[in-house]
Amino acid sequence: MRGRYRHRVNAPPAALLDARYRVGSLLARGGMSTVYRGTDTRLDRPVAIKVMDPRLAADPAFRGRLEREARSAARIDHPAVVDVYDQGQAATGAGTGLGGDGPLLFLVMELVEGGTLRDVLRARGALGVPAAFAVMEQVLSGLAAAHRIGLVHRDVKPENVLISRTGEVKVADFGLVTASAQAGPSTAGMIMGTVAYLSPEQVATGNADARSDVYAAGIMLYELLTGAPPYSGDTALSVAYRHVNSDVPPPSQIAGEVPPELDELVLRATRRDPAVRPDDAAAMLAEMHRVAVRLEVPRVPPPVPPPRPLEEQDTVPAAPQRLAGGTASTPGGTAVSAALPAPGPRGTRALPRPDDGTPPPHVRARRRSRRAFTFWTAVVLVLALLVGVTAWWLGSGRWTEMPSLVGLDAAAAQQLLADSDLVVRVIEAYDDEVADGLVSATDPAAQAALLRGSTVQITVSTGRPTVPEIAPGTSVAAAEQALRDAGLTPVHGSDDTDDSDSVPAGSVLRTAPEAGTELRLGAPVTIVVSSGESDTVQVPDVVGKDFDDAEDVLDELDLDAEGRSAIPFLGRSDGQVVEQSPRAGTTVERGSTVTLITV
């Protein structure tokens, strides 16, 4: 069990806890508990001992609830869940090495050597799609095992996801929040400490079911993809308000490489209405598997936590240090004297030869021999290294593998190819299924063996084609080529014509559908061609105009005006028009006469 690492201190030597567990060094300290490394002396195995906060341990409701929750959590048998081995309590912590005179309440769990997902996020930030999938697959598998037997975690967050040094991912602390939820008022602030991952129903009513865990898993997936949870604020209340009243934004707004399918998975898992989320972790895991298959997400191992700082690591006894005057210091602080020459027979003692700075001949010869040996050893090692590198290069070293790129952002795909020592050629093509800017195809296919430095081709989707803008008056041939270049099929029949006073006959008048319409690849687009001016025209409305003005309007349409007085012999044939024949809107041939009745 590994939490957020603090200063590593050792609990003082003490009697066994519950006559079985030896308490060791401090591993982590949180709001509700403190975790120690321990040893189960009966089974001779390392364990993690979680000691509850004295305020909680003093609450009878919490003690009873924790015992029931520990029994339930122990029923979960899954490699992605931290095993609960035992639970116990004592009237006092005195004499156990843990101190304190109040009641002692503890859990004994599997010890995970490593760190938390929070440690990984602090060190790396956003993990990227493959690594995020690697972590979430195991988290959801562990939650699914709990949901199958009716258990709800209620506090899914990076701090409760442990990752071992070998890449095992395990969910921890099942039932702890459930137990604390029924404790006294003094623990309310502890539960609010994880408000960044609380579902709207937990904030509003305090109720939770499997879909609440799904919501928290969706928030955690968002954080793995972007490096931060979607909501933050100065107070827990402001964050809780956002959960209840706002929809989680798509992660692609922060991390541009996140594909739309993954956006939809995060948004579906974090819907405010529990009824429209996946029913449980197993359902969310199935959806994530479908997205991974569709996007061809490569399988990678989960990221491991960074090494702990030196001051937090277990100490090792220092080597003896040489002291002045020929003594050596031992770890215990005693000094061991260096051996002096023993007196010779009859009390005589060998005296040292005067030192003129020149080593004796046998010493010089031995040094020459060592130098020669070192030189030839170095030569042999260099030759062996050259032979090894050459053999590696001629064998597998000059080969690399085509990575899986379909569905990735073009920039990310080019970076992966550069990391694989491949040269990329990019082409663009319309695609009905792949979104704009994502890789739709590769040549060669994924996992193909290639020589390093080979050139590969990736096809980047430009999305579905749209009808291009074709100016009126464009030739039919030019319009057809523009439509073909846009991935569409030009269509033009003898009936696809229309009259136009402004576009010459035989030129393009318009397209159907109009420019800017999005269509499927290869969809037909009709080219409507101008037939020139029409032989007919609609009679305009000139009633109310003076005869001269009305005559000008009709003349522009190639129509003749004939004036006639409304009162024979008394009216004016060039007065104001009060009636016309034919009526306005009537279609007549050009050159026709329109009779205007005037007064």
Q: Roughly what angle, to the nearest 10 degrees, separates helices 260-269 and 281-295?
A: 170
In the DSSP assignment, the letter for residue 313 is: S
**φ, ψ for residue 281, nearest 5 deg:** -65, -35
Q: Which of 59, 83, 155, 213 is catalytic?
A: 155
CB 172 within 8 A of CB 82: yes
Read off the tokens for 436. 């704009």
**Mind giving me the DSSP string for 475-509?**
-HHHHHHHHHHTT-EEE--TT-EE--SSSPTTSEE
Contact 7, 29 (CB under 8 A): no
Which residues, at least 6 apart from 176, have a Cβ–Cβ distance to it below 8 Å?
A: 32, 33, 66, 69, 155
Cα–Cα distances in Å, from 449 out to 188, 390, 420, 422, 500? 58, 19, 11, 11, 61
Structure tokens at 20: 């079985």
- Percent helix, strand and coil across the chain, each to the nearest 5: 35, 20, 45
Per-residue 3-state assignment (H helix, E strand, C coil) for 124-175: HCCCCHHHHHHHHHHHHHHHHHHHHCCCCCCCCCHHHEEEECCCCEEECCCC
Which residues, at least 6 apart from 155, have a Cβ–Cβ distance to it below 8 Å? 173, 176, 177, 194, 197, 216
By the 8 A CB rule, do 268 and 276 touch? Answer: yes
Catalytic residue flag (residue 432):
no
What phi and psi values does residue 321 have, to the nearest 5 degrees? -105, 130
Number of neighbouring beta carbons within 10 Å of residue 45? 12
By annotation, the residues acting in catalysis are 155
